[in-house]
Structure 1
Amino acid sequence: MKVVFAGPSIHGLDNALLAACEMHPPAGCGDVLRAVGASADAIGLIDGVFESEPSVWHKEILFALASGVRVMGAASVGALRAAECHAFGMEGIGAIFEQYSSGERVCDADVALAHAPAELGYAPLTEALVDIEPVIARLAAEDWLGAEEAEALLAAARHMHFKQRTWNAVLDAAGLDKTRRPGLVRARRGFGLSQKQRDASEMIAAISASEPLVHADRHAFEFSRTAFFDQLQRQTPLKDPP
């Protein structure tokens, strides 16, 4: 069984891409542990909760790896956890993972955004910085923006809280002439998938094609149990993730 935790990062993707995996909502604390208990042989972490309830613990990811489960991460909290747990065998996929893994990007909030509830397909309501930065760079490279305009937009986006970071808010904060906006919007739509969507797509394709780990492939490390992990395991029913 291949379990993938995802929400806003896969909004708008073709459902056919998701067919080979058992899809679940963004992961919270205990969900990876539940997936291991439900006999998952591969776990993909894309999106996770981080404010409304406790986030996925590194320790449960390490437990999954020590149990011989393949764990991949990309796009959002999955990219963060993959960069943090890569030395223990978690597999990171995509440009956002590479940015965190290399140290080019260090702020957790760069992947954060506000989104709609599950009933509305977790549709993004604001823009993650990891998505908005490459769009600004491409608009500048294709001469839709001048150098000073691009710098103003980047500065506005980087100083804005993720719950307020919409394109209109960034354009307003940067003082961009409103007559320029329709052309920028059309150009941006022509760029296709966001970086988060691209990385999520790449990870889902990779986990869909992956084979279960054999013993020789497992990353060797000693899993150290703690009182906190034991308590989490006692409090986490071993059933399918919600």
Structure 2
Amino acid sequence: MNQKAPKTLVFTGTSISHEDAKDIIGGVAFQPPVFRGNVEKAVKEGYKLIGIIDGIFFSRSAVTHKEIVRAMEAGVTVVGGCSMGALRASELDIHGMIGVGKIYEWYRSGEIEDDDEVAVATNPDTFEPVSSPMVNIRETFNAAFDEGIIDKESCRLLTDLAKKTHYGERSYFGITREASREGIISGEKASELFTFCRDNETDLKREDAILVLEKVKELMSGEN
């Protein structure tokens, strides 16, 4: 690691644990999901490179656009992707925030727009997710279609059902069970689909979290 690497901080803990993140990148401070005031505090503490992966959406005030812009105006490099980072990067890349990952691209292109696409309910002590994010559900149902487990119309209806479900209550078990009740798919197909989702989830948020960490690592080494 370059000894002159900038003092670096990454906000995460939900899409990827601090322990797993440390296996990817060293010499970095990790803090829980970001909320309002955290970035401003980080700037005051002398951090010059900030990665935003996870953030608080509803239980506390979210990190503001102005807060991030002020950090960049003060010479701090800010990288975002995956969750709150993807949201803010899609809105602030024109101001210099660096966005990475598929979810960021979806937000930037307008393919998805709502905050609930990346929101999950979490364990308040560990920040681990206890519901499934909509972006993962979309990709996993698409994968089930590609595998021939569900047809295109069922995939659409299942995705719509998931979208209508409150973000904190989204789970593959709940969605497939409700789909069976509503006649979208049979009970047998619901069981088959649930097993596939449980064992083969496309964890898009984790994939994008890793991309953020890799980008931060690249910037720390001066290889950008």
TM-score class normalised by the smaller sequence: 0.7 to 0.9
Q: CA RMSD in A?
A: 2.1
- Assess if the C-alpha contact under 8 Å between 2:21 and 2:213 holds in 1: no
- In the TM superposition, what are the counterparts of 1:83-232 in structure 2 within 5 Å? 83-118=90-125, 121-175=126-180, 176-189=185-198, 191=200, 194-211=203-220
Q: State yes or no: 1:5 paired with 2:11.
A: yes
Q: Distance in 1 between matches of 2:27 and 2:158?
A: 39
How high is the TM-score relative to the length of structure 2?
0.87
- Assess if the C-alpha contact under 8 Å between 1:69 and 1:212 holds in 2: no
Q: State yes or no: 1:21 paired with 2:65.
A: no
Cα 1:77–1:14 shift into 2, 3 Å: closer
**1:211 CA drift (Å):** 3.7
Cα 1:109–1:192 shift into 2, 3 Å: closer
Which of 36, 45, 48 matches 1:38?
45
Aligned AA (1:91): I
- Assess if the C-alpha contact under 8 Å between 1:2 and 1:208 holds in 2: no
**1:107 CA drift (Å):** 1.2
- Assess if the C-alpha contact under 8 Å between 2:32 and 2:127 holds in 1: no
**1:161 CA drift (Å):** 1.0
Q: Distance in 2 between matches of 1:72 and 1:201?
A: 12
Aligned AA (2:154): E
Q: Percent identity?
A: 31
**1:182 CA drift (Å):** 5.0
Aligned AA (2:112): R
Aligned AA (2:55): G
- Assess if the C-alpha contact under 8 Å between 2:172 and 2:194 holds in 1: no
Structure 2 gaps, min length 5: 1-6
Q: Distance in 2 between matches of 1:85 and 1:147?
A: 35
Q: In the comparison of the two structures, how many residue pairs are matched? A: 212
Please state whether the residue corresponding to 2:145 is helix, strand or coil.
helix
Structure 1 gaps, min length 5: 218-242
